[in-house]
Amino acid sequence: MNFLFKQKKQLKQRVFLHIGTHKTGTTALQYFLYHNKDRLYTKRFHYPHIGWYHYAQHLLAFHLKEHNKLYDPSIWQELVDDIKKQPKKDIIISSEELFTISPKSIKLIAEYLADYEVHIVIYLRRQDQLFESIYNQQVKEWKSPRKEKIQLFLKKPEKIFPKFNYYYHLNVWIKNIPNAKFHVKIYEKDRLKNANIIDDFLEVLELKSNIFDHTSVILNDSLSPKALEIVRLSKHVISDITIREKIFHKAREVFPNSHKTVLLNNKERKNIMAKFKQSNQKLKEQFFSSEACLFSEIEDTEFVVENLNRQDLIKFIGEII
């Protein structure tokens, strides 16, 4: 009797919620899932179109944000209705915006998915790297008002992104979806399956990577520090969004990203990581007790902080005249 009960429990329909975090290869993963949704379907996985926006179910998150004009939790009932139409399929939902929703909204998800075996998948990136990457994203977006220097946020990095305390915010999820299974992963090449998030995520799903099409990949590249500074400065003097967009494209062309220059020096990085040392240690003990450390150490590398100088400005002006 117990054996039959276990068998039935194992066959319970699963819902995999990939909740982020931001800047951990989410765009590439979501485009892969979208591009391979038909192949996934033949392997018992359904990547639903409910809440669809840019290759993923971002509206499922936006509709749970109480202060958003899109707020409408009933979209989750649409998702459940769609899941019921796929009784022999496991479900994949992906949106890094889910990691930013409130405890109340997390509890709503638990209620809507009460009849399913919920798996929470999350990738965590070293806080200094995430801070730098999100700042880059906010400044390079020509519609965004972000135009302050990055150093202004070093004392309070939460002003850039409020969820850096992974230990606290993960436990909010655990508290509100206590029966979920958590797959907490570190977004570092030597910690990912085959050094990439796509193969690593497929391993969570217990799927083989070689049966899927990996040729179509979409990336969300950062701007080089010099190009980013051009865009940032332009926001101080130009309000026209269309002109800002042209400056963005020209700056990216004139100062391409070599991936060897960064915005923060080692001292600044270590100061950021020191703020989260205790919470990271608790997180390690909770999910990675066998690991020597949660994230890789900050070491001297070939990466350098490269500032925009007068000659660079003259070069850029010459390109746009």
Residues 230, 286 share a domain: yes
Q: Is residue 134 part of a domain?
A: no
For position 10, what pLDDT does the model report?
A: 53
The runs of H, that is alpha helices, within the chain are 2-10, 26-35, 37-42, 58-62, 75-84, 103-112, 127-140, 166-176, 197-204, 225-237, 241-254, 266-275, 277-287, 310-320
Q: How far apart are CA 177 and CA 193, in angstroms?
A: 27
Residues 300, 203 share a domain: no
Q: Is residue 138 part of a domain?
A: no
Q: Is residue 177 part of a domain?
A: no
For position 302, what pLDDT does the model report?
A: 65
**pLDDT above 50 (res 295):** yes
CB 18 within 8 Å of CB 121: yes
Q: How far apart are CA 79 and CA 77, in angstroms?
A: 5
Per-residue model confidence as pLDDT tens digits over 230-246 = 999 999 999 999 999 99
For position 5, what pLDDT does the model report?
A: 42
242 upstream amide cis, omega within 30 of 0 = no
**pLDDT above 70 (res 95):** yes
**Residues spanned by the domain of 196:** 2-124+188-211
Residues 195, 71 share a domain: yes
Residues 263, 196 share a domain: no
Residues 100, 240 share a domain: no
Average pLDDT over residues 126-153: 96
Average pLDDT over residues 152-160: 96
Average pLDDT over residues 31-58: 96
Residues 75, 99 share a domain: yes
pLDDT > 90 in the chain, percent = 85
Average pLDDT over residues 280-299: 92
User: Which of 13-17, 22-26, 63-67, 303-307 has the least mean pLDDT?
Assistant: 303-307
Average pLDDT over residues 87-116: 97
